[in-house]
Amino acid sequence: MSTHTEDDRKTEKAKSHYNKAEKEVLSDIKDIKENVIGLARNIRETSTDKAHDAVDYVRDQVENLKEVGVNRMERVEKRIKAKPGQSIAIAFAAGLLANALLGRRKA
C-alpha cells in the first residue's frame, strides 16, 4: 500500500513541476508577445522618423538646386547684357549646330 501512496506523491510532484513549467512557459510567451509588439512600435516609429528625415533632405536638396539654378540664370543674364552681340552670335551658332544634329532625316 505504501507503493500506491509513493506513486501518488510522485504523481503530485510531477503535476506540480508540470504546472510550474506551464506557468513559466505561458509567462515567457506573454513576455515575447509584449516584446514583439514593442519592437513593432519601435520599428514603425523609427521608419516614420527616417521617412520624415528623407523628405526633409530631399526638400533641402530641391531648395539648393533652385538656388543654384537661379544663380546661374542670373549669371547668364548678366553675360548676355554685358555682350549682347556675342550672345546673339553664340545663340545663332548653337541653333545651327542643333539643326545639323537634330535636323530632318531622310527616310
* pLDDT value, residue 106: 60
Tell me the pLDDT band of 7, cut-offs 50, 70 and 90: confident
State pLDDT tens for residues 80-97: 999 999 999 999 999 999
The answer to whether the predicted template modeling score (pTM) of the entire model surpasses 0.75 is: no
C-alpha dihedral (16, 22, 28, 33), degrees to nearest 10: -150
Task: Output the nine-digit C-alpha cell for 99.
Answer: 539643326
pLDDT at 3 over 80: no
State pLDDT tens for residues 23-82: 999 999 999 999 999 999 999 999 999 999 999 999 999 999 999 999 999 999 999 999
Residues 73, 81 contacting (CB under 8 angstroms):
no
* pLDDT value, residue 73: 95
Residues 87, 79 contacting (CB under 8 angstroms):
yes
pLDDT at 2 over 60: no
What does the chain come to in residues?
107
